[in-house]
Structure 1
């Protein structure tokens, strides 16, 4: 076999492997939005104004325009947004949380965050219902990367203070029958800094009461409705920064969020 034929054979073999073996999803800090995804925040003030608003829950104390400050990225070039809204001083969640103007059902979400000080606290809410916790120093079911109050995460995956971290989340919304009765609970798979920490976890309820998000005040958080919801970021009076937030709409027919 001549050199040309050897190279051609090798190329065909490698191509066959590519189509037989599924490529791993790109996850972790710096992951770029795929084509067609919504870039929810790119570090610019215009992006914040265009895509986000205050969540008008029962404890709302802030008023537009959004007071979350655009700051210089303390690690890399570019800018980020700080969750330290003055209306939320003292840990008053629900007073100045921001939520996307668009609403979503099934999706893939990427969020990068940096905690500047010990005990820094915030959260990422899926459909403005289900909180994925951001909390420095806590490894419990109420702590870092936990599906709040239900599923703890391995704390050692956290990069620590002053460093960027990334959540990559695939989410399937709860399902309902034609009468509005809940038939399948919401489900999620989550990577934290590139490591899979939750796989096909069913989320049982909305925690935190009516100030936490949609349906939080309905039947103790178990009265989930079929209303789509936005992505919400929590303000609790802490210097938690966010950047590179994007979301891709999906249609997950089967109860499987693994990726």
Structure 2
């Protein structure tokens, strides 16, 4: 048979299509091929409400005592006040910190600015939550009070302003749900993976997996220095009657 140009083209197209057809056949996998059954996902019982501690949480403060804290200044029992299940900063008595250290964590904490309004900006309902004693999530009465954006409530202090201002009025309870990844250092003390944090303020996302540039500094540029894998959570005495309740942590 005489091979014409048309026969040649038809044969070429058929041969060119064979690898594609074979490739499609080769990757036609059953659904089970992309399923895995191990490890079995660990079961955790959630709290009766989202604000309540799940079964694997470490309850730091349930309103009954300050026994899980010490004074950052003296290492002794904290001198903050405890009344009706709420602890309140005792101005001049200093910061307090957890006895236990934490690294990667989910932290739930509720706080309220003083009902008696005094001052403006940084002088109004000021405190702070220091993750690993170094990295501050700002606590401040920013309800109707202007200050620098990276210093208002829910900021990563002097680094990242919150995406929005989700404050409640003085005397009302605010909730922070904080998801924190600790920094990693190499054997020489150099940071190889900076800390990152996500903050949800009153159910509103205000910090979206932002990179923490180093320990909180009031003046100057933050620079990492190697520290242990787990350190206490510190609550700040900034001279204002800020109150706290319902504090729990999940180690991640």
Quick check: TM above 0.5? Answer: yes
Alpha-carbon deviation of 1:154? 4.6
Alpha-carbon deviation of 1:135? 1.2
Structure 1 equivalent of residue 58 of structure 2: 38
Q: In the alignment, is the contact (CA less than 8 A) between 1:115 and 1:163 conserved in 2?
A: yes
1:198 corresponds to 2:211: no
Divergent runs of 4+, >3 A: none
Please report the RMSD computed on the Cα atoms of aligned residues, expressed in angstroms: 2.4
Per-residue CA distance 1:60-113 (angstroms, 9 max, x = gap):
3x67331100123xxxxxx200012443xxxxxxxx100111111100000000
What is the rounded CA distance, in whole Å, between the counterparts of 1:194 and 1:139 in structure 2?
23
Structure 1 equivalent of residue 21 of structure 2: none
Q: In the alignment, is the contact (CA less than 8 A) between 1:139 and 1:154 conserved in 2?
A: no
How many residue pairs match? The answer is 194
Q: 1:248 to 1:63 in 2, by over 3 A?
A: closer
Length-normalised TM-score, structure 1:
0.69
Structure 1 equivalent of residue 126 of structure 2: 121
Q: In the alignment, is the contact (CA less than 8 A) between 2:125 and 2:240 conserved in 1?
A: yes
Alpha-carbon deviation of 1:239? 0.8
Residues 130-139 or 120-129, more deviating: 130-139
Structure 2 equivalent of residue 108 of structure 1: 106
Q: 1:242 to 1:202 in 2, by over 3 A?
A: same
Alpha-carbon deviation of 1:170? 0.5
Per-residue CA distance 1:114-160 (angstroms, 9 max, x = gap):
11133111001100000000111246101111000011115531012
What is the rounded CA distance, in whole Å, between the counterparts of 1:234 and 1:144 in structure 2?
14
Q: In the alignment, is the contact (CA less than 8 A) between 2:178 and 2:197 conserved in 1?
A: yes
Alpha-carbon deviation of 1:206? 1.4
What is the rounded CA distance, in whole Å, between the counterparts of 1:154 and 1:189 in structure 2?
11
Q: In the alignment, is the contact (CA less than 8 A) between 1:189 and 1:200 conserved in 2?
A: yes
Structure 2 equivalent of residue 21 of structure 1: none
Structure 1 segment 178-217 matched on structure 2, within 5 A: 178-208=187-217
Q: 1:182 to 1:63 in 2, by over 3 A?
A: closer
Structure 1 segment 155-170 matched on structure 2, within 5 A: 156-170=165-179
Alpha-carbon deviation of 1:221? 4.0
